[in-house]
C-alpha cells in the first residue's frame, strides 16, 4: 500500500473539530487499531482513498449499497430529482410511488411512513406499538441493534432480572427499565416472561436475522415462538428489517422465513444510499399516526424527493436484474472459497444470501450474543489489518458483517480468497 499521509493529515485536523474525527463511532477503527483511510470516491465494488489507494469493499456503507457504489441508475435518478428541487416540505409523487412499491413487496404491509434513518424508524414503530396497545414495556433481544434511541440503548440486567439497564451514559434508568431484554434462541425464557408479564408488553422488536453482532442465525422454531407468544398476548411483533429488508428477498426476512410481523422497520437499501428509513404495518395500526390518530410522528426532510428517487431506482434495478438470485450466487461463490479456509482452523463462515460473517471461534456458529467468544476480536485484528493493507476492506470490527452487492464479480471473490489466504498465513 502506498502512503496514508493525506488521510492522516485530514484525520488529525478532523479530530480537533469532530469527536474522534468521525460522524459515527465504528468508523474510527478503535476495535482493530490503526487509522481509517479517508475516502475520496467509490465505484461498484471499489473504494478509493485520498492517497490513491484502492480497496475491494465489503462494507458497502454498512448495507445500503446493494447495487454497489455510485450505481449509474441511482446517480441519474438523484440528479434528475435534484434539478427539480431538493426538498419541498410538501407531498411529492415519489413518496406515493415508493410507498406503493414497498407495500407490494413486503408481506402483509398495507401502509408505510417515511423517516430519515433506521433509528427514527424503530423509535417511531415502538411509539406506535405503545400507542396502539396502551402498554409501556417492550422486549428487545441482546445482540440485536435497533439504532440509538434512549430506550434501545439498553442491555440485559444481571441474573434472572430482565429489566434493562442503560447501555450508554445519558440514558436514564427510568427509561431503560421499560425495555425488557431477553437472550436470542431461548424459547423457555421468552415463554416465561410472557406468561408473567405478557399483558404489559406493547411490542417485541427483533432482527429476524440478527446482523449487528456477528450473524446470529435463528432457528425457524424460535422465530415461530416469537410470533406465537406475541399473538397470544396482543403484543405487536416488530421485525427490524433495516438490514434484512430488500436484501434477503424482495419481502425481506418476513418472506424468507414465511412469518408476517405486525409492524416492520426499514432503512439502508430503501434509500439507495441517501438518508431514509420507513416503518409500516396494517392500515388499522398505521392510521393511529398523526394526522389521523393520536400517535405523534413527523420530520422536516421525511419523504425527501432525492431519497425517494434513489430508493425507487435501487428497487427497480434489483427487481429488473433478477437481483436476489444473483446475490445468492455470489454469496455461494464466496462461501465456497472462504469457508474451507476458516474451517481448516476450526472456525466457520456464517452466510445468508449476500450477508456474511467470519466466526473466528471453535464449535457451532453462535445463535445468541451470550454464545459469542470475545476472543474473536483478538483473532480478527491481524487478519483485518493485513487485508486492508493489501487492498481489501472488511468492517473494522470482528462482530460486524460483510455485504456483497450486485457490483461484485467472480474475480472479486477470487481476489478476496487469495488475499484472505495470505492474511491467515501471516496472522
Ligand X SMILES: *Cc1c(COP(=O)(O)O)cnc(C)c1O
Which of 117, 162, 179, 393 is close enough to bind ligand X by CB under 6 A? 117
**Active-site choice (57, 185, 240, 262):** 240
**Active-site choice (55, 106, 145, 399):** 145
Q: Considering the complex, what minimum distance in angstroms separates the CB of residue 367 from ligand X?
A: 17
Q: Does 207 bind ligand X (CB under 6 A)?
A: yes
- Residue 145 is a catalytic residue: yes
Q: Does 279 bind ligand X (CB under 6 A)?
A: no
Name the residue nearer to ligand X (CB basis): 21 or 277: 277
Contacts of ligand X in 77-96 (CB under 6 A):
none
Q: Does 212 bind ligand X (CB under 6 A)?
A: yes
- Residue 378 is a catalytic residue: no
Torsion of CA 178, 119, 277, 114, to 10 degrees: 50
Which of 21, 68, 147, 366 is close enough to bind ligand X by CB under 6 A? 147
Grid cell digits, residue 101: 412499491
Piece in contact with ligand X (CB under 6 A), picked from 13-21, 236-244, 295-303, 404-412 = 236-244
- Report DSSP state, residue 271: G
- Report DSSP state, residue 384: H
Q: Does 240 bind ligand X (CB under 6 A)?
A: yes
Upper half-sphere CA count for residue 248 (Cβ side, 13 Å):
25
Which of 65, 126, 237, 243 is close enough to bind ligand X by CB under 6 A? 243
Contacts of ligand X in 175-194 (CB under 6 A):
none
Count residues contacting ligand X (CB under 6 A)?
Answer: 14
Name the pairing type of β-strands 392-393 and 54-57. Answer: parallel
Q: Does 119 bind ligand X (CB under 6 A)?
A: yes
Q: Considering the complex, what minimum distance in angstroms separates the CB of residue 118 from ligand X?
A: 2
Cα–Cα distance, 342 to 420 (Å, whole number): 10
Cα–Cα distance, 345 to 330 (Å, whole number): 24
- From start to end of 99-169, where are the E strands? 111-115, 137-142, 154-156, 164-166
Grid cell digits, residue 234: 396482543
**Active-site choice (268, 285, 380, 399):** 268
- Residue 240 is a catalytic residue: yes
Torsion of CA 111, 116, 121, 124, to 10 degrees: -90
Q: Does 145 bind ligand X (CB under 6 A)?
A: yes
Q: Does 154 bind ligand X (CB under 6 A)?
A: no
Q: How far is CA 340 from CA 347, 349, 421, in A?
A: 9, 9, 10
User: Which residue pairs from 20-27 have beta carbons closer than 8 angstroms and sit at least 24 positions apart in sequence?
Assistant: 26/395, 26/396, 26/397, 26/400, 27/396
419: Cβ contacts below 8 Å, ≥ 6 apart: 56, 386, 387, 390, 391, 392
Q: Are 141 and 116 in contact (CB under 8 A)?
A: no
Cα–Cα distance, 83 to 57 (Å, whole number): 31
Which of 36, 37, 68, 118 is close enough to bind ligand X by CB under 6 A? 118
Which of 69, 127, 130, 146 is close enough to bind ligand X by CB under 6 A? 146
Q: Does 256 bind ligand X (CB under 6 A)?
A: no
Q: Considering the complex, what minimum distance in angstroms separates the CB of residue 58 from ligand X?
A: 16
Cα–Cα distance, 314 to 91 (Å, whole number): 21
Q: Are 199 and 189 in contact (CB under 8 A)?
A: no
Name the residue nearer to ligand X (CB basis): 367 or 386: 367
Cα–Cα distance, 247 to 352 (Å, whole number): 10
Position of minimal CB gap to ligand X: 118
Which of 7, 53, 122, 230 is close enough to bind ligand X by CB under 6 A? 122
Which of 78, 98, 181, 242 is close enough to bind ligand X by CB under 6 A? 242
Name the residue nearer to ligand X (CB basis): 126 or 309: 126
Q: Considering the complex, what minimum distance in angstroms separates the CB of residue 83 from ligand X?
A: 26
Q: Does 385 bind ligand X (CB under 6 A)?
A: no
**Using CB under 6 A as the criterion, which residues of the chain lie in contact with ligand X when the complex forms?**
117-119, 122, 145-147, 207, 212, 240, 242-243, 267, 277
Residues tagged active-site: 145, 240, 268
Amino acid at each position: 500500500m502506498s502512503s496514508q499521509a493525506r488521510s492522516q493529515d485530514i484525520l488529525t485536523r478532523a479530530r480537533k473539530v469532530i469527536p474522534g474525527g468521525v460522524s459515527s463511532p465504528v468508523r474510527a477503527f478503535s476495535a482493530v487499531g490503526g487509522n481509517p483511510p479517508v475516502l475520496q470516491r467509490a465505484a461498484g465494488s471499489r473504494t478509493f482513498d485520498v492517497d490513491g489507494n484502492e480497496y475491494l469493499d465489503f462494507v458497502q456503507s454498512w448495507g445500503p449499497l446493494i447495487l454497489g457504489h455510485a450505481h449509474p441508475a441511482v446517480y441519474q435518478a438523484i440528479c434528475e430529482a435534484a434539478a427539480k428541487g431538493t426538498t419541498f416540505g410538501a407531498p411529492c409523487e415519489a413518496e406515493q410511488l415508493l410507498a406503493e412499491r414497498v407495500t407490494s413487496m413486503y408481506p402483509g404491509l398495507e401502509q408505510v411512513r417515511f423517516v430519515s434513518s433506521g433509528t427514527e424508524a424503530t423509535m417511531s414503530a415502538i411509539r406506535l406499538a405503545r400507542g396502539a396497545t396502551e402498554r409501556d414495556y417492550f422486549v428487545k433481544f441482546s445482540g440485536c441493534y435497533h439504532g440509538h434511541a434512549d430506550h434501545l440503548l439498553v442491555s440485559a440486567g444481571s441474573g434472572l432480572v430482565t429489566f434493562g439497564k442503560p447501555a450508554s451514559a445519558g440514558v436514564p434508568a427510568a427509561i431503560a427499565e421499560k425495555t425488557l431484554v431477553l437472550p436470542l434462541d431461548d424459547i423457555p425464557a421468552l415463554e416465561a416472561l410472557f406468561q408473567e408479564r405478557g399483558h404489559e408488553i406493547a411490542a417485541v422488536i427483533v432482527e429476524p436475522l440478527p446482523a449487528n453482532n456477528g450473524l446470529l442465525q435463528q432457528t425457524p422454531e424460535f422465530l415461530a415462538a416469537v410470533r406465537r407468544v406475541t399473538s397470544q398476548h396482543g403484543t405487536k411483533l416488530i421485525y427490524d428489517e433495516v438490514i434484512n429488508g430488500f436484501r434477503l428477498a424482495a419481502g425481506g426476512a418476513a418472506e424468507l422465513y414465511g412469518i408476517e410481523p405486525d409492524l416492520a422497520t426499514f432503512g439502508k437499501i430503501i434509500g439507495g444510499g441517501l438518508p431514509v428509513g420507513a416503518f409500516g404495518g396494517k392500515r388499522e395500526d398505521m392510521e393511529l399516526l398523526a394526522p389521523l390518530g393520536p400517535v405523534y410522528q413527523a420530520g422536516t426532510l421525511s419523504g425527501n424527493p432525492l431519497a425517494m428517487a434513489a430508493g425507487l431506482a435501487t428497487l427497480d434495478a434489483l427487481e429488473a436484474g433478477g437481483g436476489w438470485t444473483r446475490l445468492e450466487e455470489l454469496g455461494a461463490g464466496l462461501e465456497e472459497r472462504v469457508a474451507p479456509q476458516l474451517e481448516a482452523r476450526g472456525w466457520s463462515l456464517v452466510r445468508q444470501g449476500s450477508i456474511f460473517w467470519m466466526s473466528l471461534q471453535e464449535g457451532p456458529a453462535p445463535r445468541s450474543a451470550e454464545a459469542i467468544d470475545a476472543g474473536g476480536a483478538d483473532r480478527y485484528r491481524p487478519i483485518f489489518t493485513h487485508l486492508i493493507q493489501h487492498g481489501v476492506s472488511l468492517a473494522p470490527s470482528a462482530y460486524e458483517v460483510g455485504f456483497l452487492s450486485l457490483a461484485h464479480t467472480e474475480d472479486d471473490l477470487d481476489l478476496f480468497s487469495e488475499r484472505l489466504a495470505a492474511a491467515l498465513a501471516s496472522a
